[in-house]
Amino acid sequence: MRIPISLALAVSISCPASALHGADVNVRTESGTVSGVRAPQSNVVSFKGIPFAAPPIGDLRWRPPQPVQPWKGIRQADLFAASCMQHERQEFLPWTSEFLTHNKVGEDCLYLNVWTPKPHSGAKLPVIVFIHGGGFSEGAGDIAVYDGEHLAATGLVIVTINYRLGVFGFLAHPDLTAESEHHASGNYGLLDQIAALQWVRANIPSFGGDPHRVTIWGQSAGAFSVEALVASPLAAGIIERAMADSGIGIAGLPMASLKMAEEAGAKFAAAHHAASIKELRAIPAEDLLPGPQDSPLRFAPDIDGWVLPDSPQALSDRGADNDVAVITGYQAGDGLLFAPRMQTPEQFHQMAEAQYGEMAGEFERLYPAKNSDEVKAMLAQSIQDRDRVSMFLWASRRQKNHRQPVFTYYFDRAIPWPQHPEFGAFHTGEIPYFFLNLKVLDRPYEPVDFKIAQEASTYLKNFAAQGNPNARDLPKWPRVEANAPATMEIGVRTGPMPLADPEKVGFWTRYFASPAGAHAPPF
How many other CB atoms are found less than 10 A from the CB of residue 124? 16
170 Cβ contact partners less than 8 Å away, ≥ 6 residues apart: 136, 164, 186, 187, 188, 189, 261, 299, 300, 301, 302
Distance of CA 275 to the CA centre of its chain: 35
What is the Cα–Cα distance from 483 to 465, expressed in whole angstroms?
28
Please say whether the beta carbons of 49 and 80 come within 8 A.
yes
Q: Is the dihedral of CA 198, 203, 208, 212 positive or negative?
A: positive
Which residue is catalytic, options 220, 246, 382, 396? 220
- Rounded to whole angstroms, the Cα distance separating 469 from 476 reads 9
Asked if 396 is an active-site residue, the reply is no
Extended strands (E) in 21-110 = 24-28, 33-38, 45-51, 74-76
Strand residues in 174-233 grouped as ranges (E): 209-219
Amino acid, single-letter form, for residue 396: S
DSSP string covering 322-383? ---EEEEEEETTGGGGTPPP--SHHHHHHHHHHHHGGGHHHHHHHS---SHHHHHHHHHHHH
Q: Is the dihedral of CA 135, 140, 141, 146 positive or negative?
A: negative
The C-alpha atoms of residue 121 and residue 12 are separated, in whole angstroms, by: 6
SS3 273: coil
**How far, in Å, are 32, 298, 374 from residue 135 at the CA level?**
34, 9, 31
Say how far apart CA 265 and CA 268 lie, in whole Å: 5
Closest by CA to 231, choosing from 275, 185, 190, is 190
- Distance, in Å, from the CA atom of 7 to the CA atom of 481, rounded to the nearest integer, reads 38
Integer Cα distance of 319 and 330 in angstroms: 24
- What letter does residue 22 receive in the DSSP assignment? S
Distance CA 429, CA 427 (A): 6
Q: With H, G, I as helix, E, B as strand and everything else as coil, classify residue 229.
A: helix
Asked if 117 and 152 touch (Cβ cutoff 8 Å), the reply is yes
**Which residues are identified as catalytic?**
220
